[in-house]
Amino acid sequence: MLPSAAPRASAGRFAGETAGGSADPMANLFEPPRYIAVEGPIRVGKSTLARIIAEKLHGQLLLEPEDNPFLDAFYEGRTGAAFQAQLAFLIRRFEQLQALDIGPNSRRVLVADYILEKDKIFANLNLADPELETYDRYYKLFRNQVPTPDLVIYLQASTEVLRKRLRKKNAAGERALNLDYMAEVNRAYEHFFFHYSASDLLVVNTSEIDFVEDSQDLRELLQRLSEPVHGTQYFLPLGGAEQTGP
Structural domains in the chain, CATH included, are 40-244 (3.40.50.300)
Q: Between the ranges 92-106, 179-193, 225-239, where is the mean pLDDT highest?
A: 179-193
Tell whether the model's pLDDT for residue 233 goes beyond 60: yes
The residues, ordered by sequence, that sit 6+ positions from 77 with a Cβ below 8 Å of its Cβ are none
Tens of pLDDT, residues 134-151: 999 999 999 999 999 999
Report the alpha-carbon distance of residue 136 to residue 52 in Å, rounded. Answer: 34
Q: What average pLDDT does this structure show over 206-233?
A: 87
- Give me the phi and psi of 71, to 5 degrees please: -70, -45
The pLDDT value recorded for residue 179 is 81
pTM comes to 0.82
Report the alpha-carbon distance of residue 1 to residue 243 in Å, rounded. Answer: 10
Report the alpha-carbon distance of residue 90 to residue 120 in Å, rounded. Answer: 9
3-state DSSP call for residue 26? helix
Report the alpha-carbon distance of residue 204 to residue 201 in Å, rounded. Answer: 10
What is the C-alpha end-to-end distance of the chain, expressed in Å?
7
